Amino acid sequence: MSTSFLYHGFSLVGYDYVRTRYEGRSITFTIRHKRSKLCCPVCRSREIIMRGTTRRRFRSIPIGFKNVFFDLSVQRVGCLRCGSIRQVSLGFADPRFSYTRAFERYALELSKHMTIQDVAAHLSVSWDVIKEIQKRDLTKRFSRPFLKDLRRIAIDEISIRKGHRYLTVVLDMTKGTIVYVGDGKGADALDSFWKKVKRAEAKIEAVAMDMSPAYISAVSTHLPKATIVFDHFHVIKLFNDKLSGLRRDLYREAKDLLQKKVLKGTRWLLLKNPENLDSSKGEKARLNDALQLNQPLACAYYLKEDLRQVWFQPTKEKARLVLVDWIKRAETSGIKMLKKFAKSLAAFQSGILSYYDYRISSAPLEGTNNKIKTMKRMAYGFRDIEFFKLKIMAIHEAKYALVG
């Protein structure tokens, strides 16, 4: 092996080849510093004296199925110009780690296509080594996102663990990238984000979110000029939750066995959009039977379908008329659940209709949440929450096949 091979094969500059040792599945190349290339790592002066060496071994990219290592006696020098005593710069490796920069780049490239465990097994290192390589790379690229151009954002929380453990995620609606991940799901989860926005002097125009009082208060306080857009996905989801509760109460209160039998198992049919009901499985017939036997349930169901029309109008004014009409019908229905929900919509009317000013929703964030769930399944959980948050920041780079 020649010194030129060190340069062309491993990008090592300023070193001489000494010898090669073969041991089982590993190849070890012993190298040494070129005396003529040594200089002070502080002032770059060549007026130096030798102050001893420290023997180090660095893992490099494999050759075939063989692990490759470099043995080097790292030189320490004393500078006659600036007086410092330091180990010389290595160039090919960070002196804090036991592997080369080429190995680090190779591990990161493999990580685009393999899990951490797979990369670690392939390179014959521990899980923690690959995880730390990824974490440093992600920290360098995503710990300080560029926020000055933020104009439209979406805010939502995601569940990351059983026991009600949540993270709050902020999405840049223009670029489709996560720009912030905070702990918890309350207003305090966004405290750090507001400080970053203020430092960046970002001029955020619109915020898509659910009707969480905590988020409303936080956005109103820190972004008084921004338009709040209540996400229609969350509005419908909230109504669906109320509809499921109504069906459950009606089933519990029903005295007629036939009525109980018809109501049982209709929850998912009530939540489905009419066009998605499968006639071949008798879903439409079952739903019609349940609605015919129970007037309050039928009223709530048809109002659910009418509520969707608020977001399909040609103008904001027509949407306002549809919403106001819906609220009146719900208030006069005599059904407690509908009257209470109508009161909520009346209070949040401005944010609902703001959709026609800024046609944004947190739907892209829901897609991101699915990617995050897939990432969790692939990793079998994350022991390091900061690492997990960085992985979320980089989720737009990931390519996952989403399986339900």
pLDDT tens-digit map of 314-327? 999 999 999 999 99
Domain co-membership, 8 together with 99? yes
Domain co-membership, 30 together with 12? yes
Chosen domain end from 98, 115, 140: 140
187-209: average pLDDT: 94
Domain co-membership, 347 together with 380? no
Residues in the chain: 404
Domain co-membership, 26 together with 55? yes
CA angle (121, 399, 159) in 5-degree steps: 90
Indicate the range of 105-114, 172-181, 273-282, 369-378 predicted with least confidence.
273-282
Counted domains in the chain: 3
User: Does residue 279 lie in a domain region?
Assistant: yes
175-186: average pLDDT: 90
Mean pLDDT over each residue of the chain, to the nearest integer: 84
Residue 275: pLDDT over 60: no
User: Does residue 77 lie in a domain region?
Assistant: yes
CA dist 232 and 210 (Å) reads 8
**Residue labelled with tokens 């004014």:** 317
Closest CA to 247 of 184, 198, 290, 183: 290
Domain co-membership, 122 together with 24? yes
Note the pLDDT tens digit of each residue in 297-312.
777 777 888 899 999 9
More confident residue, 280 or 290: 280
Domain co-membership, 26 together with 130? yes
Residue 294: pLDDT over 80: no
121-144: average pLDDT: 93
Domain co-membership, 136 together with 9? yes
Note the pLDDT tens digit of each residue in 205-254.
999 998 888 899 999 999 999 999 998 888 988 888 887 777 676 656 55
Q: What is the DSSP string of 302-338?
A: HHHHHHHGGGG-SSHHHHHHHHHHHHHHHHTS--HHH
Q: What pLDDT is recorded for position 270?
A: 47
More confident residue, 382 or 44: 44
User: Does residue 9 lie in a domain region?
Assistant: yes
Q: What pLDDT is recorded for position 89?
A: 92
H helices within 168-231, ranges in order? Answer: 191-200, 213-222
User: Does residue 145 lie in a domain region?
Assistant: no
Q: What pLDDT is recorded for position 237?
A: 86
338-348: average pLDDT: 92
Domain co-membership, 207 together with 81? no
Residue 375: pLDDT over 90: no
Confirm if 246 and 304 have CB atoms less than 8 A apart: no
329-353: average pLDDT: 91
Domain co-membership, 212 together with 283? no
By residue range, what is the domain housing residue 307?
232-357
Domain co-membership, 134 together with 161? no
Domain co-membership, 288 together with 311? yes
Q: What pLDDT is recorded for position 261?
A: 46
CA dist 132 and 126 (Å) reads 10
Residue 400: pLDDT over 60: no
Domain co-membership, 75 together with 136? yes
User: Does residue 403 lie in a domain region?
Assistant: no
Task: Indicate the helix (H) or strand (E) that contains 168.
Answer: strand 165-172
User: Does residue 146 lie in a domain region?
Assistant: no
Q: Give the CATH number of the domain where residue 216 resides.
A: 3.30.420.10
Note the pLDDT tens digit of each residue in 57-102.
999 999 988 999 999 999 999 999 999 999 999 989 999 999 999 9
